[in-house]
Structure 1
C-alpha cells in the first residue's frame, strides 16, 4: 500500500498538469494521381505556397465553362488554407479554407472551390504551373498547349 501511494500521487499530478496539444499545427497539401488512384506526394504548406495560391484565387474573373470538368488523368492538388481566406471578387465571394487545383493532361487547368462548405464551383486556373511544380518539388506533367495561359 505504501508503494502504491506515491505512484497514484504521481499519476494524479501528471493528469492535473497535462499539456494541451493543438492539432492545428501543420497543414499538408496532397498531390493525387487518378491513374494510380492514390496520393503520390504530401507537402507541408508554407506561407509561400499559401500566398501564391491566394493570389491566383483573387485574380479569378470568370467561371470554368466546361460542363463536366472531371478527368481521369493528370493531377489533382488539394491545398488547405490556414487561416481561411475571405475572397470578394467578381466571381467569388466566400470564405475559402481549401482549394483544389485540377491539372488534366490535355485540357486547361482549373480550380475547384467549395463555397459555403457545400457549393462546389470551378474557375479557370491562370497561375503558372511551372512555378507551382517548382514550389511543390514535383514535376506536373501537362500538355505544352495548356501549361501557361
Structure 2
C-alpha cells in the first residue's frame, strides 16, 4: 500500500484541512453574516470540486447513478449544508478553540450511528476512545 492509497493519510489530511477551515472561517465571518459566508464558501467548494472532477476525468453520466445513491447523496448534502450553517453561526458567536471541539463531537455521533444504523461493531477499547473524545471535546470547550 502506498501513502496515497492509505485511508490514514487522507484522514490526517482531512483533519488538517478541517483545522484550517475553522481558523480561516473564524476570521472570514468577522464582518459578514454567517449564512452569507457559508454561501460564499459553498460556491468556492463547488467550483474547486467541479474543476478537479473535470480535470481528472472522473465525471459520470447522471443516468449511471442509482436512485438509492442519489437519495443518500442528497440527504448527505442537506446534512452537510445544515452542519455548515450551524458551524459558521457558532464561529460567529464563539471562539474557534471552543466551537471546533464541540463540532468534533460528530466523531462520537458517527460511532454511535454506525453501530445503530449500519450494524458496525466496536470493541471495548473503541468505546473507551469514543468516551475520551467526548470528554476531551467538552473539557476543551468548557470555559471556567
- What TM-score do the two structures reach when normalised by structure 1? 0.20
* Greater Rg by CA: 1
Higher helix share: 2
Higher strand share: 1
- What TM-score do the two structures reach when normalised by structure 2? 0.20
